[in-house]
């Protein structure tokens, strides 16, 4: 019984993380799509949301390597996960700031936000996959 409750709680947590990632992707897509005309499509918004959902589902809360002398190497999955989460959430935070404050930053900042988002979720996805393959 306890195992089932713990498993259910973990699934609920991961679904919540996926929804948070999708929301972040929606903000990044809305900001970038409004600034770059060729990206003003529903497909682009959906892609940003899907990348966020998959990245946050896989990349946050990755299984850690045992911490002992036998595993003295750097945990690449843990590092990629944390760096990816930071990049993705910074991009989402910047996007929300631009939208809420109704700013009009230079197009270079818009591209930077897009690349930070893509790099962040890519790192999360790779980290999540790597951490789960080593089990």
Indicate the pTM of the whole model.
0.86
Can you read off the two tokens belonging to residue 40? 């003003």
pLDDT tens column, 32-46: 999 999 999 999 999
Tens-place pLDDT, residues 71-100: 567 788 889 999 999 999 999 999 999 999
Q: Which of 73, 64, 71 is nearest to 127 (CA)?
A: 64
Measure the CA–CA gap between 93 and 8, rounded to whole angstroms.
30
pLDDT at 135 over 60: no
Confidence of residue 122 (pLDDT cuts 50, 70, 90): very high
């Amino acid at each position: 019984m306890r195992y089932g409750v713990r498993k259910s709680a973990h699934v609920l947590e991961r679904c919540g993380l996926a929804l948070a990632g999708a929301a972040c992707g929606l903000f990044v897509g809305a900001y970038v799509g409004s600034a770059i005309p060729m990206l003003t499509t529903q497909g682009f918004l959906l892609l940003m949301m899907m990348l966020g959902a998959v990245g946050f589902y896989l990349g946050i809360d990755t299984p850690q390597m045992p911490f002992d002398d036998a595993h003295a190497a750097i945990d690449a999955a843990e590092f990629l996960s944390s760096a990816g989460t930071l990049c993705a959430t910074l991009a989402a935070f910047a996007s929300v700031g631009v939208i809420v404050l109704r700013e009009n930053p230079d197009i270079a900042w818009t591209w930077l936000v897009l690349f930070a988002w893509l790099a962040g979720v890519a790192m999360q996805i790779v980290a999540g996959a790597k951490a789960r393959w080593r089990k």
